[in-house]
Structure 1
């Protein structure tokens, strides 16, 4: 997972540490990268043999494998997703 973050976040790839010194800049990027990794990115090691519809494999993300969702998300779904407020 560390290599995934480093390869996808340019801030961690560059030698300059100007943006990393400020945690307020890095933290939102880490959360976004975690969402992309878990909800958008298909993983070959998680795929299942497909029997339905003639597909050879059924693509899955870590979120699907964990039972958090039933489909691969789109960017639109992520941006429109609303988190309910906490109960008092």
Structure 2
């Protein structure tokens, strides 16, 4: 029996381009499964059948928002590190916003929690 895969959410052309495949090729789910595993191992609320599951959707959403901010601004990603020629260090650790030029340093938790988002 052949496994049928199809895009059910989002613009199919955009998704196929992001995955680097054409419409007839295999659509890999490894990137999605990798982030799902990271979320489940980092947030106990996402583990199945635990005492810590979210009872209120508002708290569930706020917890996930905090996780996203931590994952992007505080946690350095190995795939983004740069080799540097320094006496005592070989690598410059970076976060996604550093790689995009949004910030110049790895944030700490106090910085993240006290950052005031500009009102537009």
Cα root mean square deviation, aligned: 1.8
Q: Answer 1 or 2: higher relative contact order, Cα 8 Å, separation at least 6.
A: 1
Q: 1:34 aligns with which of 68, 75, 78?
A: 68
Aligned length: 85
Q: Provide the TM-score with structure 2 as the length reference.
A: 0.63
Distance 2:115 2:52 in 1: 32
Whichever structure has more helix as a proportion of its residues is 1
Q: Provide the TM-score with structure 1 as the length reference.
A: 0.83
Per the alignment, residue 22 of structure 1 pairs with 56
Q: In structure 2, list runs of 5 or more residues that go unmatched.
A: 1-34
1:64 and 1:70 in contact (8 A); partners too: yes
**Structure 1 residue ranges, 4+ long, deviating more than 2 angstroms after superposition:** 16-22
For the pair shown, the structure with the greater C-alpha radius of gyration is 2
